Structure 1
Amino acid sequence: MLTIPPGLDPDLLRSFVLIAEGGSFTRAAQAVGRTQSAVSMQIRRLEDILGQPLLLRGTRGVEPTQHGHWLLERARRLLALHDEIHATFRQPAVAGSVRLGSPDDYAIRWLPAILARFAASHPAVQVEVTCAPSNELVERLEDGELDLTLISEGNEPLGARPRWLWRGPLFWVGTEEVARRRPLPIALANGGCSWRKAAVAALDAADLPWRMAYTAASLSGSLAVALAGLAVTVAMPAPLPEGLRVLGAAEGLPVLPEFGIGLLRGPGTPVSEALSRHIEEGFALEAGFEARLRA
């Protein structure tokens, strides 16, 4: 007689993915709106179904076991397909266009996965993406040229209430040899960039001599200068090109502050609200990225 294995509840898999990516039962419980004990019971139920331990508590928090790593990759795909099916049949049809703004750095880091999921669940929506510095994107939103935009903290208009999606540290990036030069050659964006303001303020507070060696319009331009051994730059947690590394106190560089990434929205429409939800969910899925990278 054919034995049918027990089904895998998407809610169990979702809690597992959130814990595995974020390294915390507490953050996962907050994300799914359950108590920590309820989420722990979900993981025990999933491990009972599969017959293998999936998560272990270590010195760096909760980490997947070998079987957990195998499941994590497949659970992400399964949940994406589950959400696509659910959205297609249960949500009202959304059609039209939406205009999204984003600084170049965030477009490369976050938008590909977010836009791919959005296109799969809303195939009748056309997304127009504009990449520019945060201050320019704010102006375009206020002028009605954008429906929503990502911005760096420090560029929000007076009285605005962005939806804060992510917060994490900034890092000095470059090579050790360049980092020990004085005055320190730096490559950053134009004067309105919040990263530039933070870097310059930290250097001045540490009384460390510096010079602006290059001004680049995007992080990729600054990284290219750093790769050439001409300057150090500032970046957020992300995989770095080969030849560059995170720099800090060992090279005599001051600590940089944390910064936030926010979402500003214009007058809401069904299309822009749908994209806004996808953006918020996409950033939530990446909540544990910085902790994993630093580990």
Structure 2
Amino acid sequence: MLALPPGIDPDLLRSFVLVAEGGSVTRAAQHVGRTQSAVSMQMRRLEDMLGQPLLTRGARGLVPTSHGTWLLDRARRLLEMHDEIIAGFRTPELAGHVRLGSPDDYALVWLPEILAPFAQSHPAVEIEVVCLPSTDLLRCFHAGELDLTLFSAGMDGAGLGAERLWRGPLRWVSAAALPVHLRRPLPVALCRTGCAWSRAAVQALDGSALPWRVAYSSASQTGAHAIALAGLAVTLGLAGSLPSGLRVVGPEDGLPSLPDFEIALHVRHDVPLAVQLGRHISAGFRAELETIGAAA
């Protein structure tokens, strides 16, 4: 059992996790249905209870201190156990239909290991998976056509109100066995122009002195990865989710730097099945990414 001081309120930990993950008291307050001042008071109460500062203001908002980072990992695990206990006694057997959106490359790399255990423990739940580019997934979610969706969030505000599952730099990727990144003009495989990754790539390339051309265009990132695997062009990806046969290339190989992106999750909180599945996906992503981090 996790060792925490007696009397600690799970609601304090829940608010702390939301602030630490989102960097904002305001967004955490919106998520838990409290006022900003109430959440700020919760943070002060938690710090007073534990006797250590847990949050500090950084360039991108509030970030955990060293003590806050230690607490964050344990608070997540405790809340998962807490929610599992409550759900086990209060929630009837899950059944019904839930609509999940995901970019195709996430669906291929991340979802099998995450969804299989959920399907085994909740056999009466039918999960409809819709694979589209992130911009289309967000449009469908906000139109009520999806109950929850994974998506790629950049610096354009698309991730506001969503749960951040992972954050890191977007990468150039190329065939592992071929020096495609040395060709000039550089052949690039992009998704359609509305894709946030494609916009970031074009902006980075246009801001460099590198000659380049769009050699291939695909409706999906999986299609662009197929082109890269064939050695026909470089494309884009996240280092933790690359298919076998691709490798990361970057500034050390003469390519321009790319901005950070997030894997984020929007959940419709008035759909109980979406909430339950969202919690499972969130926990599954953390487990997968911790494994990747340990192996790196």
What TM-score, normalized to structure 1? 0.67
1:95-244 matches, cutoff 5 A:
95-154=95-154, 160-175=160-175, 177-238=179-240, 240-241=242-243, 243-244=245-246
Match 1:32 to one of 74, 96, 101: 74
Q: Relative to structure 1, is the Cα distance of residues 167 and 92 closer, same or farther in structure 2, using a 3 angstrom cutoff? A: same
Residue in 2 that maps onto 1:277: 279
Deviation at 1:28, TM superposition (A): 6.2
Whole-angstrom CA distance in 2 between matches of 1:185 and 1:101: 30
Task: Decide whether the 8 Å contact of 2:148 with 2:268 is kept in 1.
Answer: yes
Deviations, residues 40-85 of structure 1 (Å, cap 9, x unaligned): xxxxxxxxxxxxxxxxxxxxxxxxxxxxxxxxxxxxxxxxxx99x9
Residue in 1 that maps onto 2:11: none
Number of residue equivalences = 229
Gaps of 5+ in 1: 1-8, 13-23, 40-81
Task: Decide whether the 8 Å contact of 1:148 with 1:272 is kept in 2.
Answer: yes
Deviation at 1:169, TM superposition (A): 1.8
Q: Relative to structure 1, is the Cα distance of residues 95 and 144 closer, same or farther in structure 2, using a 3 angstrom cutoff? A: same
Task: Decide whether the 8 Å contact of 1:135 with 1:155 is kept in 2.
Answer: no
Residue in 2 that maps onto 1:92: 91
Whole-angstrom CA distance in 2 between matches of 1:234 and 1:289: 22
Whole-angstrom CA distance in 2 between matches of 1:239 and 1:262: 14
What TM-score, normalized to structure 2? 0.67
* Larger displacement relative to structure 2 (234-243 or 96-105): 234-243
Task: Decide whether the 8 Å contact of 1:149 with 1:264 is kept in 2.
Answer: yes
Q: Percent identity?
A: 48
Task: Decide whether the 8 Å contact of 2:193 with 2:199 is kept in 1.
Answer: yes
Deviation at 1:179, TM superposition (A): 0.7
1:32-51 matches, cutoff 5 A:
32-33=74-75
Task: Decide whether the 8 Å contact of 2:165 with 2:286 is kept in 1.
Answer: yes
Deviation at 1:218, TM superposition (A): 2.3
Whole-angstrom CA distance in 2 between matches of 1:159 and 1:289: 24
Task: Decide whether the 8 Å contact of 2:135 with 2:196 is kept in 1.
Answer: no
Task: Decide whether the 8 Å contact of 1:95 with 1:125 is kept in 2.
Answer: yes
Deviations, residues 193-242 of structure 1 (Å, cap 9, x unaligned): 11111111111222212100001222321122112221111111236455
Task: Decide whether the 8 Å contact of 1:168 with 1:290 is kept in 2.
Answer: no
After the TM superposition, list the runs of 4 or more consecutive aligned residues in structure 1 that deviate by more than 6 angstroms: 85-88, 155-159
Task: Decide whether the 8 Å contact of 2:109 with 2:241 is kept in 1.
Answer: no
Whole-angstrom CA distance in 2 between matches of 1:217 and 1:28: 42
Task: Decide whether the 8 Å contact of 1:138 with 1:157 is kept in 2.
Answer: no
1:241-260 matches, cutoff 5 A:
241=243, 243-260=245-262
Partner secondary structure for residue 287 of structure 1: helix
2:198 is aligned with what amino acid? R
Q: Which has the larger radius of gyration?
A: 1
Gaps of 5+ in 2: 4-65
Q: Relative to structure 1, is the Cα distance of residues 245 and 156 closer, same or farther in structure 2, using a 3 angstrom cutoff? A: closer
Task: Decide whether the 8 Å contact of 1:87 with 1:121 is kept in 2.
Answer: no
